[in-house]
Amino acid sequence: MNSITTDEKLKPLRQNIHYFLKWTGISLVTGVIVGLVGTLFGHGIQLVTSFWKGHGWTLFLAPFAGLAIVWLYRVSHEEKNKGTDMVIESISAGEDVTAATAPLIFISTLLSHAVSASAGREGAALQLGGSLGNVIGKAIHLDEKDRKIAIMCGMSAGFAALFGTPLAAGVFAMEVISIGVMYYAALVPCLFASFLGAAISGKLGLVPEHYDIGAVPEFGLSGAAFAVLLGILCACVGIFLCVSLHQCGHFYRKYFPNPYLRVVAGAVIFIGLTLLFPSRLYNGSGAQIIERVFEGEAIPVYAFLLKILFTGVALGAGFKGGEIVPTLTVGAAFGYAVALVTGLPVGLCASAGMACLFVSVTNCPVSTMFMAFELFGFSAMPYYSIAVAVCFTLSGYYGLYHSQKFVYSKIRTEFINRKSNE
């Protein structure tokens, strides 16, 4: 019987040390590069948002901005670029994230926000970070498997730099790809890169998101019942949001197969909607709605429905950005409506609504909980935990990302390996 040599015993330890040192270095480089680019992107979004808020006429430039976006993707031979879905598939299915994705999503998102299109920025940050992570991986000659980690590393840094929630960002990149299976090999690089990206953006003037939810009622049986009810209601709203956004895209492609006509038609419809609701409350990312809710200002009880409509019209037509902030806006607005009906504190309902809508469209319960704690603190933790769990379970297999895989069932301990519903 052969005895195990000392060298063989120490081999796993050497491999672990090599992994740690290797990915510490790569994550630091990625965090710095993506953090700096993400900071520049974030300041650009703030600049163009401030401009359209002070110059309402930019709305009427939407057709031209849309044409410019379509032309940029076409001249770069990126017409079939699937955005965040492509980044997800680069990890789950080996599809390559093109180097052109980063500059294209950077410019096109700024153009979309400049004309007040209803779009977010975190989806763009995922594409920006994923593309840069892939470029860095190729530059240092990582193999295919390690490049997947580099892409997740970039996604984490980009998300954290823009949103200021490094813990949620670090876990989200590992969790969003395959529901039921997390890529733990990326834990160290994703967390290192996300905290570094957030630190850089914070030092360079991007203030992390945080909301004061005010007083929180003592948690008990009635509080648990409310959390369950809110989770059920938010699951319905989340499914409606996902179906609406996907169906808007299908509608445009069916009736306007030419992408140039499609984006112009969408711009005209968007302008018409804005003139019909001239407050501009539903234009842009929706951050103004979230701010009003937490500052105690009144918004229409149907605001969450109009935000879904404005977002579907803009993104379905071809404007760029992301769905995450609009989703959080829908959650805050719906939570506000629930607070009016129940009489419960608006801050509690709105924050729980934001967390529930996020989990219903991303199917990432772990990162959702971390995000809730980073955005709102721990005072309402029992409410968030129950509401998020219920919403995740009842939202089924719907989601924002077509390429997201459900490896294991939400309701049974069985392997299903299916993609999300449209």
Alpha-carbon distance of 355 to 371, in angstroms, equals 8
In a domain, 37, yes or no: yes
Alpha carbon distance 156, 167 (integer Å): 9
Domain membership of residue 156 (yes or no) is yes
**253 and 378 inside one domain:** yes
Same-domain status, 192 and 227: no
Q: Does residue 327 sit within a domain?
A: yes
Domain co-membership, 345 together with 278 = yes
pLDDT above 90 covers a percentage of the chain that reads 86
For residue 254, the enclosing domain spans 221-419
62 within a domain of the structure (yes/no): yes
Does residue 140 share a domain with residue 267? no
Is residue 178 a part of any domain in this protein? yes
Banded model confidence at residue 97, pLDDT cuts 50, 70, 90: confident
Query: What is the rounded average pLDDT of the residues 99-128?
Result: 93
Q: How far is residue 170's CA from residue 160's CA, in Å, rounded to a whole number?
A: 8
* Domain total in the chain: 2
**Does 280 fall in a domain?**
yes
103, pLDDT greater than 70? yes
Residues 155 and 243 in one domain: no
Domain CATH code at residue 379: 1.10.3080.10
List pLDDT tens digits, range 32-76: 999 999 999 999 999 999 999 999 999 999 999 999 999 999 999
Q: Answer yes or no: do 138 and 257 share one domain.
A: no
214 inside domain: no
Asked if 390 and 277 sit in the same domain, the reply is yes
Same-domain check for residues 158 and 261: no
182-229 pLDDT tens trace: 999 999 999 999 999 999 999 999 999 899 999 999 999 999 999 999
Whether 245 and 178 share a structural domain:
no
Of 154, 173, 203, the one marking the end of a domain is: 203
Q: What is the DSSP letter of 136?
A: H
Is residue 215 a part of any domain in this protein? no
Of the pLDDT bands very low, low, confident and very high (cuts 50, 70, 90), residue 260 is very high
d(CA 171, CA 126): 13
Helix (H, G, I), strand (E, B) or coil at 274: helix
Q: Give pLDDT, residue 1.
A: 47
For 340-378, what is each residue's pLDDT tens digit? 999 999 999 999 999 999 999 999 999 999 999 999 999
Could you tell me whether strands 415-419 and 405-408 are parallel, antiparallel, or unpaired per DSSP bridges?
Answer: antiparallel
Whether 227 and 291 share a structural domain: yes
Does residue 6 register a pLDDT over 80? Answer: no
Identify whether residues 246 and 122 lie together within a single domain: no
